[in-house]
Structure 1
Amino acid sequence: MRIGLTGGIASGKSTIANMLVERGALLVDADQVAREVVLPGQPALEAIASTFGQAVLESDGSLNRKELGAIVFQDKSMLMKLEAITHPAIRASMQATIHTFAEQFPNRLIVADVPLLYETKQEELYDGIMVVYVPAELQKVRLMARNQVTEEEAIRRIALQMDIERKRALADFVIDNSGSLEDTKRQLDAFWESQCLL
């Protein structure tokens, strides 16, 4: 079984991903893949440099994230140009890894951790979608504490993603991560048993 794991920013998605791995799942992490596709020698990095100029490269040829961020986060059209380069590369790499896992471990759960799964319309790639849910107010509090940002900045970042209530409504499986760690573990155990993954 292949599931897409998503949720809102600061919902605890990484914690849930780790718990699933502890239970025997195989993880493909979109954030990790996103870092890999822009390493020196990768076609995506070459496309970024030709689109945004050599200023987005460090002297060693690696990506200057700060410089690139200064360009794309000030102009939505520039961000869309960047995403048009990176998203297909990330998706192709993830699907290749998932395919390999499925062939090598046909009875294992494969989890793809994709923060913007719904926003990038990837639902059809998976057998089911698991959403890690916390109410928006708790999301804001956790984000402020985790990233040391103001309330205004936290609200702005949360607003960049699809509303968490909408994600919850669309999900095949919901893990409510607003309670205790024990409560979250119980929900994951119930999911694991319901899918006959023991």
Structure 2
Amino acid sequence: MSSAPFAVGLTGGIGSGKSTVADMFAARGASIVDTDVIAHGMTAPDGPAMPAIAAEFGAAFVDATGAMDRARMRELVFRDAGAKARLEAILHPRIRDAALAAAASAMVANPGSYVIYAVPLLIESGTWRARVTRVLAVDCDEQVQIARVMARNNLPEAQVRAIMAAQVSRAQRLAAADDVIVNNAGIEDLEAQVDRLHAFYQQLRCKFAGNFAE
């Protein structure tokens, strides 16, 4: 379970605007625990996962700085499901433990807040659902999603579609969500949706805190 009595799991497909939404919640006082940031630290130069990655995949997957060679690893796991599973077996337990520790620290530092775990693969992982009280999905139209990723990452449409196909479908993500933010319009529309959910989550946080105290 989560380290906090009430916690939200934030997810969404590539280009949906998860980071923007997380930043908006943070500006309103929520404590954000970003598993992508944690994963990046795990695989940075001399990161805690690097010895296991080097032992499992070999020196070819470690770059000159001592970090994981992300491009090489991305190419491998994209075509080899076994390699993907081996990498996840190394990273996922470490990321989970670090995320729960970060949430516990956030609750001590900011006890009047609630935790949002930003987990891109929340639905795919299967285990995160049991650690959060509610799942919040950031959603947008497919063509909006494709256009954003093409512009942001300078990728051709076919490659963006391949990345999207490797994630759970939009329908699966929406079916698993308790709450949805639609990110098709501008910032003002997004802010209004975040305001509404932040107020709702604050109410739930107080309710869960009261039950937890009992």
Instruction: Return the TM-score normalized by structure 1.
Output: 0.91
> Relative to structure 1, is the Cα distance of residues 16 and 56 closer, same or farther in structure 2, using a 3 angstrom cutoff?
same
Deviates more, 1:129-138 or 1:71-80: 71-80
User: Residues 89-108 of structure 1 correspond to what in structure 2 (within 5 A)?
Assistant: 89-108=94-113
Partner deviation per Cα, 1:16-41 (whole Å, 9 max, x = no partner): 00101111111111111001112444
Deviates more, 1:4-13 or 1:102-111: 102-111
Gaps of 5+ in 1: none
> Relative to structure 1, is the Cα distance of residues 139 and 58 closer, same or farther in structure 2, using a 3 angstrom cutoff?
closer
Match of residue 189 from structure 1: 195
- Give, in angstroms, the shift of residue 70 of structure 1: 4.1
The alignment yields a C-alpha RMSD, in angstroms, of 1.9
- Give, in angstroms, the shift of residue 187 of structure 1: 0.8
Q: Choose from 30, 37, 45 the match for 2:42.
A: 37
| Residues 16, 139 of structure 2: 8 Å contact kept | yes
- Give, in angstroms, the shift of residue 162 of structure 1: 0.8
Q: Does 1:115 align with 2:120?
A: yes
Deviates more, 1:88-97 or 1:51-60: 51-60
| Residues 47, 67 of structure 2: 8 Å contact kept | no
Match of residue 19 from structure 2: 14
Number of equivalent positions: 198
Larger helix proportion of the pair: 2
| Residues 135, 164 of structure 1: 8 Å contact kept | no
> Relative to structure 1, is the Cα distance of residues 75 and 110 closer, same or farther in structure 2, using a 3 angstrom cutoff?
same
| Residues 10, 116 of structure 2: 8 Å contact kept | yes
| Residues 11, 133 of structure 1: 8 Å contact kept | yes
- Give, in angstroms, the shift of residue 95 of structure 1: 0.9
- Give, in angstroms, the shift of residue 90 of structure 1: 0.8
Gaps of 5+ in 2: 1-5, 204-214
Rounded to whole Å, the distance in 2 between the matches of 1:109 and 1:162 is 27
